[in-house]
Structure 1
C-alpha cells in the first residue's frame, strides 16, 4: 500500500478541484491511496484545515463542498485509487455558550447541527473515569448519555463511507483518546476498512501496547525519529533501524504537523538526505506514506519516482538482508537490490560504488 498524503498545512482553497486535476498522474505514478484532510466544516470555516471540527455532516469547507468532494472521489476511484478520510474523533470547537451544570458555569458545548446535535452532556465532565482530557477545544465524552457520542460518531464514519465514498480512515490524535473507544470504533469497520491511527509517541513499547489492545495500525513514529537521525547524522548506526517494531505500522517521513511551518525552521523535520529515509521505507513490506511537499514541492520527485518503481517491480518478492552494519543497509527482493550507505566514505560491492551518504539501486542478472 502506497499512500500519498494529499495535502499540506494551509494548502490552497478549493483543494478538491486541485487534486482532481491531477488524479490521472497520481494513479500513473503508482499511488493506490490518497489521504485527504478532514472534510467536515471547522470552527474557522474557510480558514480551517478541518481539525477544529464543528459540524460533522457539513462538508462545506475551504477545500470545497459535498459535490466537489464526491466528484474528486469518483475521479480517483475511476483511476483505481482509494481515498482515505482524516477523522477527528476526540474533540470539537466553536460551540455556542450554554449553562453547564457539571462545572456550574457556561461552556462552549452547544452544537446545534440538525443531524448530530450535542450539548454539555456529551463532553468531558472531569468525572475521573478516564484520563483522555485534552486542551484543544471540548473533549468528547463517548459513554455518557447512553453512549450517544460513541454511536453517532460511528454512524457519521459509516456515512462518510457509504454516502460520500471514502474507503479508509486515518484516526487523528489517538494519544488523547480513550483506548476502549478506539477499539470499539475500529471493531465496526475492521472487516472492510483499512485504518491507521496517529499516536504521536517515540516509545515503541507504548505503541505496541496500544496496537495489542485496539488492533489498529499506527504511524511508525519510533522509526521516523530514528530515520531522522540517520538522514541528518552520518554516525547514526543504520542497523538499529531493524530493531524497531514494524508489525501493524505505517511508515512515513513527514506530515502536515511536522512541517506546519517552513521545513528548514521546524525542529521535527528532516531537512537533509531525506532520500535515504525514503529508500529505506519504500523497500519495506509495510504500507508507506509519501508527503505532498516531498513529491510536489521539494527536489525529490525524480528520486521518489525511481523508488516507487522499485517498490512496484519488487513487491511480490520476499525481503532479504544481505549486509547490515552501522554504515550499510543492503537488502534485496529477488533480482532487485538496494544499498544505503550512511557513512562519509564510499562503499564498494561487486564492482559497484555507492557514494557516501547515498544509495544505489541495481538489478542482478
Structure 2
C-alpha cells in the first residue's frame, strides 16, 4: 500500500461534492480551483465520473457505462479541463470508483437463474452479459442489492481485468491521480487485493469498508494492502462530539495505521444532516481539531466547509496542520475530559468536559478547544 508515513500523511483531502449536488458540477469546482489550493487542500475527491442509469439525476453510483464520461456533472472535455486546472494549482484529483455492481441495461435470458435479468450491457469498449455478473456459483460470499453484482473470477477474470483496464484509462488518459474505492464491504477480498496490486506502487488509494470493527478492518488491510477510511475512529469521534461524558481516552484506543480520517461523507448526510442517525450534528469542530492534528490523511466534507459555519475554524486548523505536520506528535495529557498534544512549538488542547480547564494560565472552555504556541 502507499506509505502513509511519507508525504501522504500530510494530505488534506476535500470531498468536493455532496448528495444531489448541482448539474455541471465540474464547472462549479473549476471556478474555485485556485481557492481550493490557496486554502491548503492537497487533493479533491470527485464523485464517480461515468454515466449512471439515472442520467442527469444520477450521482454516479448507479454506474451504467464505464467509458462514457457524459454525466450530470459534465462531459469528458469539461472533466479533463477541471483536472488540468487543479493540477496547475498543485491539487491532486481522486476518482470515485464503483467496482461492485452495475445498473440499468437491457434484459436477457439468464440460464443460471432461469429468468430474464438486466445484464446485457452493450457498451462498445467494455461489453458485458449474464456471464459477467453473479450467478451464485458457490465460490463467492459477496452479494449486494445495488443492481447486478459483478462476478470477478467465474468469467475467466474478464470483469476483473476490464475494471483494472478502466481504472488505468481514468488515470493515464483522463488524468486522475488517486482512487477512492466504493463499497468494498460487498466485494471479494481477493479482488480488492488483486486490484490494489496493479496500482500499489504509484497510486494513492483508500477503500470504503463500512465497519466499526477495528480488528476486522485491520484484517482487511493486511489481506488486501489497501488503506481504508477509519470508521471505528469516526464512531468514537461522533460520541465525543455529541456526548460530554465520552472519555477522550477512547480516541487513542482506535488503531490508525493505514487509515484515513474523516467526519462525514455523501452517504452519512444523504438526507438532511439533523435527521440522519449517523451524522455528527453538534460540536463537530472538536472532531476536526483532533483529526487535523494527527499524522493520518484527513478528509474535509464539502458541506462542513461550504455550508455549515465551520469554514473559519477549518482554515485555522488546516494552517496549524501545515505548519506543524513535520514535527513529531507528542501526547502531553490524556484523561476522560482532556486531549492535549504537541508538535514542536504548536499545541492543541481539546476539552470535552463541562468545566473549564486551565493550563499554564490558558483557560480552555468546556466543549471547546484552544490552539497555542509554546516556545
- What interval of TM-score do these two structures reach, taking the shorter chain for normalisation? over 0.9
Corresponding residue of 2:51: 41
Task: Name structure 1 gaps, 5 residues minimum.
Answer: none
1:300 maps to 310
Q: Is 1:159 matched up with 2:159? A: no
Structure-2 separation of matches of 1:339 and 1:231: 15
SS at match of 2:34: helix
In 1, Cα distance between equivalents of 2:372 and 2:123: 57
Q: Deviations over 1:287-310 (max 9, x none)?
A: 000000000000000000000000
Give the drift of 1:264.
0.7
TM-superposed CA distance for 1:94, in Å, is 0.4
Distance in 1, Cα, partners of 2:151 & 2:105: 15
Alignment correspondent of 1:351:
361
1:199-249: per-residue Cα shift (whole Å, max 9, x none)?
000110110000000010000000000000000000000011001000000
- Equivalent position to 1:24, from 10, 18, 34: 34
TM-score (norm 2): 0.97
1:189 aligned to which of 186, 199, 202: 199
Q: 1:4 aligns with which of 2, 5, 14?
A: 14
CA drift of 1:145 comes to 2.4
Query: Structure 1 residue 127: deviation in Å?
Result: 1.0
Q: Aligned-pair distance for 1:69?
A: 0.1
d(CA) in 2 for partners of 1:206 and 1:14? 39
Match of 1:329 in 2: 339
CA distance in 1, matches of 2:155, 2:268: 37
**1:278 maps to 2:281:** no
1:150 aligns with 2:153: no
Structure with more relative contact order (C-alpha pairs < 8 Å, separation 6 or more): 2
Q: Which residue of 1 aligns with 2:184?
A: 174
Q: Distance in 1 between matches of 2:156 and 2:139?
A: 15
Partner of 2:371: 361
Q: What do residues 98-143 of structure 1 show as CA deviations (whole Å, max 9, x unaligned)?
A: 0001111100000000000000000001111111011110000011
> Is it true that 1:317 corresponds to 2:319 in the alignment?
no
User: How many Å apart are 1:351 and its aligned residue?
Assistant: 0.5
1:266 equivalent among 269, 272, 276: 276
Work out whether 1:62 is the aligned partner of 2:72. Answer: yes
Instruction: Report the number of matched residues.
Output: 365
Q: Distance in 2 between matches of 1:109 and 1:131?
A: 20
SS of residue in 2 equivalent to 1:241 = helix
- C-alpha separation in 2, matches of 1:351 and 1:105: 74
Q: C-alpha separation between the residues in 2 aligned to 1:146 and 1:5?
A: 36
Q: Distance in 2 between matches of 1:315 and 1:289?
A: 16
Of 225, 230, 235, 2:245 maps to: 235
TM-score (norm. length: structure 1): 1.00
Match of 1:248 among 248, 253, 258: 258
Please state how far the C-alpha of 1:349 moved relative to its aligned partner.
0.2
Instruction: Return 5+ residue gaps in structure 2 as ranges.
Output: 1-10
**Alpha-carbon distance between aligned partners in 1 of 2:334 and 2:208, rounded to the nearest angstrom:** 30
Looking at structure 2, the residues matched to 55 and 294 of structure 1 have their Cα atoms a distance apart, in angstroms, of 32
Cα shift at 1:3: 0.3
Instruction: Tell me what 1:201 maps to.
Output: 211
Secondary structure of the 1:145 match is coil
Among candidates 69, 75, 83, match of residue 73 of structure 1: 83
d(CA) in 2 for partners of 1:192 and 1:112?
Answer: 32
Give the match for residue 137 of structure 1: 147
> Aligned-pair RMSD on alpha carbons?
0.4
The CA deviation string for residues 52-89 of structure 1, in whole angstroms up to 9 with x for no partner, is: 00000000000000000000000000000000000000
Q: What is the DSSP-based 3-state SS (H/G/I as helix, E as strand, rest coil) of the residue aligned with 2:94?
A: strand
Distance between the aligned counterparts of 1:214 and 1:107, measured in 2? Answer: 31
Give runs of ≥4 in structure 1 deviating > 6 Å: none
How far does the alpha carbon of each residue in 1:253-292 deviate from its partner, in whole angstroms, 9 at most, with x for none?
Answer: 0000000001111111000000000000000000000000
Distance 2:115 2:347 in 1: 65
Partner Cα separation in structure 2 for residue 289 and residue 279 of structure 1: 12
